[in-house]
Amino acid sequence: MGGTTSQRGDARAHAVLIAADVGGTHARIALIEAGPAGGDFAIVEYRKYACADYPSLAAIIEAFRAEARGGAADRIALAVAGYVIDDAVVNVNLPWPISISNLRASLDIGELAIVNDFEAVAHAIGHVDDSAAVLLSGPSRASLQGPVLVVGPGTGLGAALRIPNGGRPVVLATEAGQATLAPETDIELDVIGELRKTMKRVQVEHVLSGTGLVNLHRAIATLRGVDAQPRTAAAITAAALAQNDPIAIETANVFCGWLGAALGDLALTYGAQGGIYLAGGVLPQMKDLVARSAFVERFLDKGAMREVLARTPVRLVEHAQLGVIGAASWYFARHPIGHIETREQSHA
């Protein structure tokens, strides 16, 4: 199975690609070499960068080129949160604007190919060994064939759908995180009311993401009359795990239950009977909190559809390199490996 190894691989490898996964908080970048076998590739260098530490995406990629033998790569497959509209990548969570033409000119590369970040993750799911994922709900194997949903709370919330289509699945990027968030419980209704004091419309990712966890903590503290200090998502999670902070504990419980309810809605909306994978940077640190929360019950609590959801496997994927593997898989699916040359070969 290509894309999951960190070995340099065959010395005859003849395609060199930089694959990058860029979110609101981190950019993960890998140097990819493709071997002579069709569909085979290997990660030979991998780095993670804090976006806030760099003035632009071009600066991060140039740093990777300098540090990780990436100078020979003349092609970049970029998985980025958001949509491409004309020359710009539209996303509210990135720390700087991205102009495609400016990025291409700054980097002086032969090709820049861009894919939505969760579309890339959906491509990477074909490289995931389910035994390495944590099963949260449902059977180990889907009892029904159908689309697979990939959802990831990170800085924002990304989602994509992988639809079976013979040997070439179709992947649809979505902006589920931008949809309006539906409350069900009294505390969720109260949180929506509190957040609407500063937001015209409360979107899914305004609560069900890393940024959303911070918003939720602030809202619950206000509702409980507690003067809680601002905290990062990681600090809130740590306090909830330590079981020594009532506001953090309630925040985590509300977050996990609400996520389960929203995920059940998405599963029904997209007909995701082939299974659900939870990725992103927030949940791996919260897996113990998810396990002891109302996540599963809220996911299943959809009336007559409960039995359908009970047959839908829900897994938590912790593979840190999913984004770059997905970007490379997506790129190579569109550019047969045998037809890709290195910079040196193309200039020969």
- Could you write out the three-class secondary structure of the chain? CCCCCCCCCCCCCCEEEEEEEECCCEEEEEEEEECCCCCCEEEEEEEEEEHHHCCCHHHHHHHHHHHCCHHHCCEEEEEECCEEECCEEECCCCCCCCEHHHHHHHHCCCEEEEEEHHHHHHHHHHHCCHHHCEEEECCCCCCCCCCEEEEEECCCEEEEEEECECECCEEEEECHHHCECCCCCHHHHHHHHHHCCCCCCCEHHHCCCHHHHHHHHHHHHHHCCCCCCCCCHHHHHHHHHHCCCHHHHHHHHHHHHHHHHHHHHHHHHHCCCCEEEECCCCHHHHHHHHHCCCHHHHHHCCHHHHHHHHCCCEEECCCCCHHHHHHHHHHHHHCCHHHCCCHHHHHC
Q: Give the pLDDT confidence score for residue 343 in this predicted structure.
A: 29
Q: Is the pLDDT of residue 294 over 50?
A: yes
* Distance from C-alpha of 47 to C-alpha of 183, rounded to nearest angstrom: 39
Q: Is the pLDDT of residue 69 over 80?
A: no
- Which range, 99-108, 127-136, 271-280, has the best average confidence (pLDDT)? 271-280
Token pair of 238 as six digits: 């740590």
Q: Give the pLDDT confidence score for residue 36 in this predicted structure.
A: 62
Q: Are 339 and 174 in contact (CB under 8 A)?
A: no
Nearest alpha-carbon partner for 331 in 8, 11, 34: 34
188-230 per-position pLDDT tens digit:
999 999 999 999 999 999 999 999 999 999 999 999 999 988 9
Q: Give the pLDDT confidence score for residue 159 in this predicted structure.
A: 92
Whole-structure pTM value: 0.82
Q: Give the pLDDT confidence score for residue 97 in this predicted structure.
A: 87
- Which range, 85-94, 99-108, 143-152, 263-272, has the best average confidence (pLDDT)? 263-272
- Class for domain 131-318, per CATH? alpha beta
Q: Residue 15's pLDDT band (boundaries 50, 70, 90)?
A: low
- Range name among 17-26, 266-275, 299-308 with the lowest pLDDT average: 17-26
The arrangement of secondary structure in 15-123+321-347, i.e. its CATH architecture, is: 2-Layer Sandwich (3.30)
Enumerate the domain spans of the chain: 15-123+321-347, 131-318
105-127 per-position pLDDT tens digit:
898 888 889 988 888 989 888 77
Q: ∠ CA 53-283-32 to the nearest 5 degrees? A: 55
**Which of 92 and 280 is assigned the larger pLDDT?**
280
Q: Is the pLDDT of residue 278 over 60?
A: yes
